[in-house]
Amino acid sequence: MWPRSPTTYLLASSTGESTTMDAAGLAPVVVSADGARGGQFVGFRLADQTYVFRIERIQEIVIPTALARVPDVPAYIEGVTNLRGTIVPIINLRLLFGLEAKPADAETRTVVVNVAARTLGCTVDSVTRVMRIAAEQIHAAPDTVATSGRSFIEGFARIGDELHIVLDVESLLDPAKLEMVHRMGMTQFDG
Amino acid sequence: MSDHEGSASGDFPAEEMSEYLRLYLDETGEQLDALVNTLLALEADPTNAAGLNEAFRLIHSIKGSSALLGLDRITTLTHHLESHFERLRSGRRVLDGEVMNVVLRCIDFLRTCSEHLRTGEPLDSAGDLLDEVKALERSGAGVAAAPPVTDSRARTTGIMPGKDLASQTERVANDWRVRVEFAPALPMAEMKAELILTRLEQFGAIVDLQPPRSTLRDIVGLPAFEAVLRSAVAAEDVAAACRPDGVVDVVVESVPPGTRAVAVAISGADEGGAEDVEGHDDEPLPPNSARGPEPDLPHVQPARPEKGRASAGLVETVRVDVHRLDVLLNLTGELVVNRARLSQLAGDMAPAFGKTTLAVRTQGVSDALKEVRDNVDPALAVTVTDVLEQMETLHQHARLWDDSRQRFAELMAAIDQLARVSDSLQRGILNTRMVPVGPLFSRFRRTVRDIAMELGKRVHLDIVGEKTELDKRMIDEIGDPLNHLVRNCIDHGIEPIDVRLRHGKPEVATVRLVAVHRGNSVFITVEDDGGGIDTARVGQIAVDRGLLAADTVEALAERDLIELIWQPGLSTARAVSDISGRGVGMDIVRTKIAALNGSIDVESTRGRGTRFTIRLPLTLTITRCMLFRLPQGVVAVPIENVREIVSITGQAQVRVSGRQICDVRGEMLPVVTADDLFSWSGEPSAATSVSDTVVILTANRRTVGLRVDALLGGQDIVVKPLDEQFAHVRGLGGASILGDGSVCLLLDVANCLDTIQRADVGEANASSESQRSHS
């Protein structure tokens, strides 16, 4: 369930910041009638939209450190950084989604995820909180979303007044599909 | 030197011998373990075909490697075991408890032998065990359906226990004189003789043998031998057993008992003489005793200690998954980086702990204040007392600080110690990964033989420096490129025999594989004495395939034409064959070698031959680099790619077709910036002031200057591949973590220079095309 990192490292950032989320992965998985799975999610913001990743996909959340820029790669790849001895590429989700770039500030975080035996970091505006979303709260994405090539959107969850977009980390950050994700983007996306 | 030594180490220098012996012991140990497991499984299911095959295979390979090392006792025993298992396999005999016991005891004996070989003790005699195994064989032969080797009496007695059978067989045995003649100059005739004798021993006892068994193996090009066999089998069966390849004549005749083989008979050759011959070495010979010139001292186990090897014994080895070593090496790399970070931090702190007299000074201030307090009016004195109290606290801190100086000195010493330990650890771990190139090179003997046969050429492979060591990973990776080069040499380089003869060259061509260790690199050369690279053809092909314009090719120097072979899509073989000639070869070879942080060069002389020189770093993971600051960040360049660093301040700006050219002591070199090498995304860096510092990069005989903002010095860096977590970027060799925890990129200079060259060639082609379209 935790593909690469020992649980003790979970969500403990190299800078000392940490968020407690023990036994998160052991939460019972509830499956709703339309196939969406419930569970625990980590919310983050890009521009004025909240997105969530499934917690079991996340290795840790860190405060961005110095980056080395890498040439000859798309602009949404900010560069590579040192994560406790592993050289990890950092993808700026704003740029990936075709949103306007925003300089890093005190809220900026790097969400480190594991995709297909690789580790990579995603720069987001801020991390909001860990939340439990029941399966019935998640509405599968309409077919038009999937057929439009945005299969990386797993569904939508309404929490309070706000609509959260549930992202499928695997299809979002699959190295082979990144370019397509970038082309589709989120800019013309009207939910 | 006695025969003993001759047979022991005649084929190998002692050092190499011990290397082989170590391998042999490791391998045999594993095989014995596997054999025991297989046997135990067979005990439950004695007819399991897969199990019997496996056991047979294991015994066979132990026999093979023992024979290679001339461990005769082990070879003989395993040979008998093997033939016994052959019978078990074919169902002529069942693996019952009796057999199992004997086999397991044989394994124990083999284990003891290995132990003795490791410690350098003499081997025990296998005499009794050998008898028992042979007894099993004979009883097995009796049960066998109809081997035409025994008369009816022997067959009826076949159900009797082996020993009795043996004696019964003996009673009806004839003496046969067997004379075997080999083809002249037959390779390994002495081995064939051994084989025949071993076969004959299955029929009965070899009563006499000429030449004596003990010297048989040392006679190179043995023309013939004669043996007296006491056996109950028929003459034709004896003759049939003596007919491996290369035997030209076999004479089997019945002789009266007591007949000797022609010429000198060996002592003690009576009944059961074969065992006796081997039995001679029962008395252990003291390792370094003067053995005197006894001519027929039987050669015992050759691994017997010699020339001081006795006390040393052999090093035990452990086989380890190479990935575990990778992990260890990575961790060591981290340790080294962390150590560097510690040193850096301590260095930064050092001024704070410099020789100060802080406490003395605070004391002085306090004293002065006390005096002030006593001499001012009481209203002010209150304030001064306050200040004095603060001063007191400061003073205490200052004393603490002074005391810590000692501690800081200790910290520095501890960091120094850590540095030494981590450096040794790193070197140690690197050493565990170093393996000789010998086995890799030897693989090519077969390749060379096969390809040469296929192409009807005659090629001799000359191997030099097989003890040169390289990182295991490198050995794994370099196999394919080397294979390609070797194939290339034979296919393209070496001319057909008639052409060679016409040019007065020897019919047998030579391909040389040489490995040498120089500095921080290993150089591997692949060299042939063939026709050299046909530059005219190379140029023609480049034009035909549309790689270059005809006039561009004409303008190229010989040297540059040769360099064209590295272009993708170029092959000079006239026919596409299995061996090479698909035109995907050389550029892939170069790419693969570049991926190992190495480089490859080619030299060729028409009619004389071609030489490829591969330079490889000793290890994949640690590279000695120069660090530079570019506007886009810090990059590392392997030290062997840095020719020099120059300042071009005040030079006139000369531009040739968009490329700036600078004059380095009369040599005109193109100068590029990081933007020429790569496209960098993100906001353009504020590189307003153009630096005049230029690093001259060189690879594959090409040289280009790169403008850098600053030099950051040399450093050993642990290179991590970028594509492990990310993607391969052309022109980057990987990345590394620096002492301060930041990441720097490693330039793959060869590829960077290719990029520049391509850009220039593209430019040239475009301009020549535009000229053509104008005219």
Asked if pLDDT for residue B275 goes beyond 70, the answer is: no
Q: How far apart are the first and last CA of chain B?
A: 85
Q: Three-class SS of residue A186?
A: coil
CB spacing of B725 vs A120 below 8 angstroms: yes
Instruction: With cut-offs at 50, 70 and 90, classify the pLDDT of residue B720.
Output: confident
- Cβ distance of A87 and B735 shorter than 8 Å: yes
> What ipTM is given for this predicted complex?
0.74
B308-320 in b/e form (b: 16+ CB < 10 A) is: ebeeeebeeeeee
* pLDDT tens digit sequence for B215-273: 776 666 677 888 888 877 777 777 777 776 777 777 777 777 666 665 533 333 333 33
Residue B4 main-chain phi, psi, to 5 deg: -55, -50
Chain B nearest-CA residue for A89: B726
Q: How confident is the model at residue B1 (pLDDT cuts 50, 70, 90)?
A: very low
Contacts of A67 in chain B (CB under 8 A): 743
Query: A65, B741: Cβ pair inside 8 Å?
Result: yes
Distance, CA of B159 to CA of B117 (rounded, Å): 39
Report the range out of B274-283, B351-360, B702-711 with the highest average pLDDT.
Answer: B702-711
CA–CA gap between residue A137 and residue B6 (Å, rounded):
86
Say if residue B211 is preceded by a cis peptide, omega within 30 of 0.
yes
Q: Percentage of chain B with pLDDT > 70?
A: 77
- Sorting pLDDT into bands at 50, 70 and 90, what band is B172? low
Which comes out higher in pLDDT, residue B531 or A176? Answer: B531
Whether residues A71 and B674 touch (CB distance < 8 A) is answered with yes
Q: What is the pLDDT of residues B380-424, one digit of tens each?
A: 888 888 888 888 898 888 888 888 888 888 999 999 999 899 888
Q: Given an 8 Å threshold on Cβ–Cβ distance, is A71 in contact with B731?
A: yes
Place of tokens 């003996």: B170
Tell me which H or E stretch contains B588. Answer: helix B585-595
Is A42 within 8 Å of A50 (Cβ atoms)? no
Interchain pair B735, A81: CB under 8 A: no
Query: Residue B242 and residue B198: Cα distance in Å, rounded?
Result: 10
Show residues of chain A in contact with B628, CB under 8 Å: none
Which of A5, A63, A70, A76 to mutate against chain B (most B CBs within 10 Å)?
A70
pTM of the model: 0.49
B1: tokens are 């030197």
Over residues B560-576, the pLDDT tens digits come to 888 888 877 665 544 44
Which stretch of DSSP H or E encloses residue B449? helix B438-455
Give the whole-number percent of chain B exceeding pLDDT 90. 5
C-alpha to C-alpha distance for B28 and B173, rounded to whole angstroms: 38
Asked if the C-beta of A130 comes within 8 angstroms of chain B's C-beta atoms, the answer is no
Q: Give the gyration radius of chain B's Cα atoms.
A: 38
- To the nearest whole Å, the CA of A119 is away from the closest chain B CA by 6
Q: What DSSP string describes A82-93?
A: EETTEEEEEEEH
pLDDT recorded at residue B271:
38
Each residue's pLDDT tens digit, A34-48: 556 778 999 999 988
Q: Render pLDDT for B721-731 as a digit per residue (tens, 0 to 9).
A: 777 777 778 88
Distance (Å, whole) CA A184 – CA A182: 6
Residue indicated by tokens 């306007």: A100
- Chain A residues lying within 8 Å of B732, measured CB to CB: 70-71
Beta bridge partners of A8: none
pLDDT grade, residue A52 (50/70/90)?
Answer: very high
B72-89 vs B49-68: helix crossing angle, rounded to 10? 160
* A140 compared with A71, residue with greater pLDDT: A71
CA distance B634 to chain A (A): 8
Quick one: tokens of A29? 């998985």
What confidence category does residue A149 fall into, taking pLDDT thresholds of 50, 70 and 90?
A: low
pLDDT at B277: 38
Taking CA atoms, what residue in B is nearest to A95? Answer: B682
What mean pLDDT do residues B84-92 have?
80
Q: What is the mean pLDDT of chain B?
A: 75
Q: Are the Cβ atoms of B633 and A69 closer than 8 angstroms? A: yes
3-state secondary structure of B343: helix
The residue ranking higher by pLDDT, B684 or A72, is A72
Q: How confident is the model at residue B84 (pLDDT cuts 50, 70, 90)?
A: confident
What is the model's pLDDT at position B635?
92
Asked whether the beta carbons of residue B334 and residue A85 sit closer than 8 angstroms, the reply is yes
Q: Name the token pair of A121.
A: 């970091």
Q: What is the pLDDT of residue B8?
A: 41
Instruction: Using CB atoms, pick whichever of B337, B678, B742 lies closest to residue A68.
Output: B742
pLDDT one-digit tens code per residue, B278-320: 334 444 434 444 444 444 434 433 333 334 333 444 567 777 8
pLDDT in tens, B661-700: 888 888 888 888 888 888 887 665 555 556 788 899 988 7
Interface of B with A (CB under 8 A): 330, 333-334, 337, 632-634, 674, 677-682, 720, 722, 724-727, 729-732, 735, 737, 741-745
Give the number of residues written for chain B: 775
Structure tokens that stand for B206 in this block = 């070899």
Helices (H), B320-437: 322-349, 358-375, 378-432
CA–CA distance, B26 with B118 (Å, rounded to integer)? 10
Q: How far is B632 from chain A (nearest CA, A)?
A: 7
Which residue of A lies nearest to B733 if distances are taken between CA atoms? A70
Q: How many other CB atoms sit within 10 Å of the CB of residue B755?
A: 17
If pLDDT is split at 50, 70 and 90, which confidence band does A15 have?
Answer: very low
Q: B729 vs A73: CB contact, 8 Å cut-off?
A: yes
CA distance B679 to chain A (A): 5
Predicted local confidence at residue A21, as pLDDT:
39
Are residues B743 and A66, on separate chains, in Cβ contact within 8 Å? yes
Average pLDDT (B708-723) is 81
Q: Which DSSP letter does residue B439 get?
A: H
CB count, 10 Å around CB of B541? 21
- Contact: A66, B730; criterion CB under 8 Å: no
Superfamily of domain A8-189: CheA-289, Domain 4 (2.40.50.180)
Element (H, E) at A118: strand A118-124
In chain B, the largest separation of any two C-alpha atoms, in whole Å, equals: 141
Q: Is the Cβ–Cβ distance between A40 and A27 less than 8 Å?
A: yes
B377: CB partners within 8 A, 6+ apart: none
Sequence-separated (6 or more) residues with CB below 8 Å from residue B619 = B430, B433, B434, B471, B474
| 3 state SS of B516 | strand
Count of CB atoms situated within 10 Å of the CB of A86? 17
* CB within 8 Å of B608: residues ≥ 6 apart: B529, B532
Q: In this complex, which of B674, B725, B731 lies closest to A87 when CB atoms are compared? A: B725
Average pLDDT for A115-126: 89
List, for residues B602-631, the tens digit of each pLDDT value. Answer: 888 888 889 999 988 876 667 778 999 988
Q: A113: which chain B residues are within 8 Å (Cβ-Cβ)?
A: none
Residue type, A169: V
- Chain A closest CA to B565's CA: distance in Å? 27
Amino acid found at B670: P
Q: A68 and B743: CB-CB below 8 Å?
A: yes
Q: Is the dihedral of CA B6, B10, B16, B19 positive or negative?
A: negative
CA dihedral over B279, B280, B281, B286, signed as positive or negative: positive
Are A70 and B732 an interchain contact pair (Cβ–Cβ within 8 Å)? yes
Residue in A with minimal Cα distance to B719: A87
Spell out the domain ranges in chain A: 8-189
- Of B659, B656, B626, the closest CA to residue B640 belongs to B626
Cβ of B727 and A175 within 8 Å? yes
- To 10 degrees, what angle do helices B472-488 and B322-349 make? 120
Q: How many C-beta atoms surround the C-beta of residue B307 within 10 A?
A: 11
CA distance B721 to chain A (A): 9
Give residues 106 to 125 of A whose Cβ lies within 8 Å of B: 118-120
**SS3 category, B611:** strand
Q: What is the dihedral of CA B395, B398, B402, B405, to 10 degrees?
A: 170
For B502-526, give one letter per residue: b (16+ CB within 10 A) or e. eeebeeebbbbbbbeeeebbbbbbb
Residue of chain A whose Cα is closest to the Cα of B746: A70
Residue B251 contacts residue B235 (beta carbons within 8 Å)? no
A window 73-102, beta carbon within 8 A of B: 73-75, 77-82, 85-89
Is-contact B707 B693, C-beta < 8 A? Answer: yes
How far is the alpha carbon of A148 from chain B, nearest alpha carbon, in Å? 27
3-state SS class at B225: strand
pLDDT tens per residue across span A100-119 = 888 888 899 999 998 877 88
CA of A4 vs chain B CAs: smallest distance (Å)? 13
At B223-233, the pLDDT tens digits run 788 888 887 77
Minimal CA separation from A82 to chain B, in Å: 6
